[in-house]
Amino acid sequence: MANSNYPGFSHDAINHALEAAQRHRLERMPAQTHAEMALENGTLKVSAQCISVTVQNGQVCLNLPLGLGSVCLPIPAIFPNGTAAQACLDICTTWGIPCGVEVTVSIAGHVIVKKGFGCSC
């Protein structure tokens, strides 16, 4: 369940990422032979959006899309409360169907934590 106190990602940005994945599937599948399809696992990761977040209590908390609810990701103690961070969302798809997300949290341009939810991409 989503927490109304946590930041989330734009529904429009998520829909644009899903449309790109579905477009890729529709363009590639008719042209692929069975042998090519067997070699490709059908997974595709599409960037949806990055948002500004703030470290609070040693973590960054977010609302995830696709009914995945809320999550709090641990941030090392060297980053105090109030530290500005960026959370980026990638949508994971299999043959154009969303099956999970990956969240990357960066501080000052450096990846601090990365976590996948649902299928891996």
In this predicted structure, the answer to whether residue 35 has a pLDDT above a threshold of 60 is no
Going by C-alpha positions, the residue among 11, 9, 30, 29 that lies closest to residue 19 is 11
In this predicted structure, the answer to whether residue 34 has a pLDDT above a threshold of 60 is no
pLDDT class for 33, splitting at 50, 70, 90?
A: low
Give residue-wise pLDDT tens across range 49-101: 999 999 999 999 999 999 999 999 999 999 999 999 999 999 999 888 899 99
Q: Name the pairing type of β-strands 84-94 and 69-74.
A: unpaired
In this predicted structure, the answer to whether residue 107 has a pLDDT above a threshold of 80 is yes
pLDDT at 32: 53
pLDDT class for 15, splitting at 50, 70, 90?
A: very high
Spatial neighbors of 61 by CB under 8 A, at least 6 apart, are 3, 5, 6, 70, 71, 72, 73
Is residue 11 helix, strand or coil? helix
pLDDT at 48: 95
- In the structure encoding, which two tokens stand for residue 42, read together? 């059908």
In this predicted structure, the answer to whether residue 30 has a pLDDT above a threshold of 70 is no
